[in-house]
Amino acid sequence: MFSLGILVYRRGSRILRTRSHVAMTLQNGLVISANGCSDSAANGKKLRWDLTPAQIQEKTDKLIQKVRQVYDTIGAVDVGKVSVENTVKPLADVKLHYASSRHILDFPQFVHPCKDVRLASTEADKRLADFDVELSMREDVFQRLVSLQEKKVNGLSHETERFVERLIKLGKRNGLHLSKAVQEEIESISKTISELSIDFSSNINEENTFLLFTEEELGGMAESYVNSLDRLEDGRFKVTLAYPHYFPLMKRCHVPETRRKMEEAFHSRCKEENTPILERLIELRARKANMLGFETHADYVLEINMAKNSRTVANFLDEVYEKLKLLGKKERKFILSLKQKECKKRGLDFDGQIHAWDMPYYMNQVEKVKFSVDKDKLIEYFPLEVVKEGLLGIYQDLLGLTFCQVKDAPAWHESVTLYSALDSTTGDEVGQFYLDLHPRQGKYGHAACFGLLPGCQGPDGTRRIPVAAMVANFTKPSCSFPSLLQHHEVETFFHEFGHVMHELCSQTQYAEFCGTLVETDFVEVPSQMLENWVWEREPLHRMSGHYRDGSPIPDNLLDKLIASRVANTGLMNLRQVVLSKVDQSLHTKSQADTAQEFAKHCKDILGIPATPGTNMTASFSHLAGGYDGQYYGYFWSEVYSMDIFFSRFKKEGIMNPKVGKEYRKVILETGGSRDGADMLKTFLGREPHSDAFFHCKGLTENGDRCH
């Protein structure tokens, strides 16, 4: 399995302002004086991360009670007297309060070091999810919004009209225009779906399987990797299924049996617990969609996306598959030849097949053989601290921002840091972000951006300062080595930080549209576009330096790395087609054997069988994390993100601050207050097209390899 960055969105507590003095020097950015961010700790230093389980429960009770009271008041307004002042404004204000008060309740489940707190947070999330369903089923509030819309009030802002239209649309998508009996059943189903989704994710977060291997069984692994492992008294090494352990081993260990054991364990995570949960979710989602008049759950969720329906998605994925399948076949043939040579070299039996545990290893060999990329050498030039400072400097210059670290800011773990982002022209605070970059027991196991406070207008008309957290699992530093990143991890860092910037730069009127609250098949566009910087010479120089002496990456090594972007293009992207089609297949059915569906698509599309006895979908967090029926969005978004990069930044300068600020204004600040298609057309000056998408895959429009 390839490392996939995802977006998980959570909202949190209201902003309280205090004063604090901080300082940080960015190697590639500006030097901030101690007084340069005097107010920058205002939000972060007031966010509480020390709540006990009992306090989490108490605050959850109070929040629900307060929000319910406001909804009751709105629902009691005389239908004939509804107005913006007695309906829209109090509804917007309470939505902001709710979004700004739950971060300390539902976010700790993903990051807190104490299991009791994580469990309490998970239970709070379940209660809040149930309450979300309750709020979404408030027919009394819905009817007052409908009445207001029918009045055709003059002088409303575009965003206010969009706000009312969206809430009415969401109400109809919950059946509020249908009979009471139907509404009650939909509410019951929705609550069950929420609870099962939380259980699914919690099981993955708490998963702690590890395997034990001798030094010989870890043959081929770098010294820095082996030194980072815990060693038992009998001499064996403890290897977990966390990303910093799993992916390097799968790419470098030349012992097939070690890779087989790891691959089997990795794709069996939570199999017993989550398989029945997922298959129940599929049934419930289909049932709800049918009750609301949709043929499938995929059609239901896609109605409010850019794609609109499952047929459009199916055609899109089929088109991508047709472009890639010949290249995938050629790549499998080459990998099989590499395996045959490897088996002969090491005295192993050659079975003439490519197994799932062969894929990462031989794809890594392809990069060495075809592009002469030495990843063991390359990793030495990407120490985390150097990458981080370079990345922050690039984002500062590109978007017209200044970052500074908030000293002594409370956080959920000692390794977490808080930063403030200022507008480099006005000096105004734009937002704040936490960086939580290393793995821990019980921590969310992937890489993600969590929105904690929304950036929008408050009740008094002033902008609320947004706060976000980037959570990742990069290798911890050891006694012998600092934290060193693979190039794909640098890419992940750039991607997730792009989501953080989407959150912080938001300038919307309503919390409903702030930051990443856009169409699901548009939400990855900003971050995917920014991934391109890790394949360009100037940014790579800024984000690198040898961990021993800071020396730059040699030009020949850099040239090989950049050229290797098209390595394994066919198989890597066919893997994404598999995941997208599995998601669509599961969510265009009323019931499914999830393991069988995954195995079928692996064989039919990728041409490589899934490992018998495993079920990758049981740990496919997207399926319970808001991407159900929408995983295709990674590909869909990439069409637009590549068009943006090649049409504007590559043409006008990748570090051109004028283009960067226009991008910030048109794409990032707008949030979901406009349709994604409209934002794209404004920034591009035309309708988007797919030429750049296939170019970046190393393909021409007819599917031939670019030379």
Domain that holds residue 262: 208-266
528: exposed, middle or buried (C-beta count within 10 Å: 0-12, 13-18, 19+)?
Answer: buried
- Residue 46: per-residue pLDDT: 72
Same domain, 133 and 232: no
In a domain, 138, yes or no: yes
Is the residue at 351 inside a domain?
no
> H/E/C letters for each residue in 217-246?
HHCCCCHHHHHCCEECCCCCEEEECCHHHH
113 within domain boundaries: yes
d(CA 506, CA 455): 6
- Please indicate, yes or no, whether residues 156 and 283 belong to a single structural domain of this protein: yes
Looking at the structure, do residues 53 and 116 belong to the same domain, yes or no?
A: yes
Structure confidence at residue 44 (pLDDT):
56
> Quick one: average pLDDT of 425-435?
98
In 437-515 the beta strands, taken as DSSP E runs, fall at 448-453, 467-471
Whether residue 247 sits in one domain with residue 185: no
Residues 195 and 253 in one domain: no
Residues 174 and 74 in one domain: yes
Check whether residue 83 and residue 129 sit in a common domain.
yes
Sole residue written with tokens 């409010």 = 304
pLDDT of residue 701: 53
User: CA–CA separation, 444 vs 23, rounded Å?
Assistant: 30
CA 89/CA 83 separation, integer angstroms:
9
Residue-level pLDDT at 45: 52
Mean pLDDT computed over every residue of the chain: 92
Compute CA 399 distance to the chain's CA centroid, rounded to the nearest angstrom.
21
Supply the CATH number for residue 155's domain: 1.20.1050.40
* Number of domains present in the structure of the chain: 2
pLDDT of amino acid 699: 80
Q: Is the pLDDT of residue 28 over 70?
A: no
Apex 157 CA angle, 79 and 518, nearest 5: 95
Average of per-residue pLDDT across 457-471: 96
What is the average per-residue pLDDT within 470-495?
A: 95
Tell me the one-letter amino acid at 86: N
Q: Specify whether 105 is located in the same domain as 253.
A: no
Residue 437: what residue type? L
- Quick check: is 283 in a domain? yes
Query: Residues 124, 60: contact at Cβ < 8 Å?
Result: yes
How many other CB atoms sit within 10 Å of the CB of residue 349?
7
Tell whether pTM > 0.85.
yes
52 has a pLDDT exceeding 90: yes
Contacts 24+ apart (CB under 8 A), 75-82: 75/138, 75/140, 75/141, 75/144, 76/140, 77/144, 79/143, 79/144, 79/147, 80/147, 82/144, 82/145, 82/147, 82/148, 82/151
Higher pLDDT, 629 or 705: 629
Instruction: Report the 10 Å Cβ neighbour count for 53.
Output: 17
pLDDT level of residue 697 (50, 70, 90 thresholds): confident
Q: Could you tell me which residue, 362 or 6, shows the higher pLDDT?
A: 362
Region 338-353 average pLDDT = 97
**Two tokens at 602?**
């692996």
Q: One-letter amino acid identity for 101?
A: S
Strand partners for 401: 423
- Do 194 and 222 lie in a common domain? no
Instruction: Name residues whose C-beta falls within 8 Å of residue 483's C-beta, 6 or more positions apart in sequence.
Output: 383, 384, 385, 437, 438, 474, 475, 476, 477
Q: How far is CA 499 from the centre of its chain?
A: 8
Q: How far apart are alpha carbons 186 and 293 in whole angstroms? A: 12
pLDDT of 187 strictly over 50: yes
- Predicted confidence at residue 416, as pLDDT, reads 98
> 290 and 205 in contact (C-beta within 8 Å)?
no
Q: Does any domain span residue 702? A: no
d(CA 619, CA 599): 15
Q: 331, 496, 519, 597: which is the annotated catalytic residue?
A: 496
CA–CA separation, 24 and 37 (whole Å)? 10
Residue 496 is a catalytic residue: yes
Reply yes or no on whether the pLDDT at 224 is more than 90: no
Do 177 and 230 lie in a common domain? no
pLDDT number for residue 13: 27
pLDDT tens-place string over residues 197-218: 999 999 999 999 999 999 999 9
At residue 60, the pLDDT reads 99
137: pLDDT strictly greater than 50: yes
| Residue 41: pLDDT over 90 | no
What pLDDT, on the 0 to 100 scale, is given for residue 42? Answer: 55
Which long-range CB contacts under 8 A does 548-557 form with residues at least 24 apart?
Answer: 548/380, 550/386, 552/381, 553/378, 553/381, 557/374, 557/377, 557/378, 557/381
Which pLDDT score, from 0 to 100, does residue 526 have?
96
| CA distance between the termini of the chain | 28
Helix (H) or strand (E) holding 538: helix 537-542
Average pLDDT over residues 401-406: 98
What pLDDT, on a 0 to 100 scale, did the predictor assign at position 480?
87
What contacts 382, CB < 8 A, 6 or more positions away? 484, 485, 486, 487, 489, 490, 543, 544
Per-residue pLDDT for 5 more than 50? no
Same domain? For 150 and 233 the reply is no
Cα-only R_g, the chain:
25
308 is a domain residue: no
In a domain, 142, yes or no: yes
Buried b (16+ CB within 10 A) or exposed e, 640-679: bbbbbbbbbbeeeebebeebbbebbbbbbbbbbbbebeeb
**pLDDT over 80 (residue 384):** yes
Q: Is residue 322 domain-resident?
A: no
55 with 188, same domain: the answer is yes
Helix (H) or strand (E) holding 399, with range, is helix 384-399
pLDDT of residue 703: 52
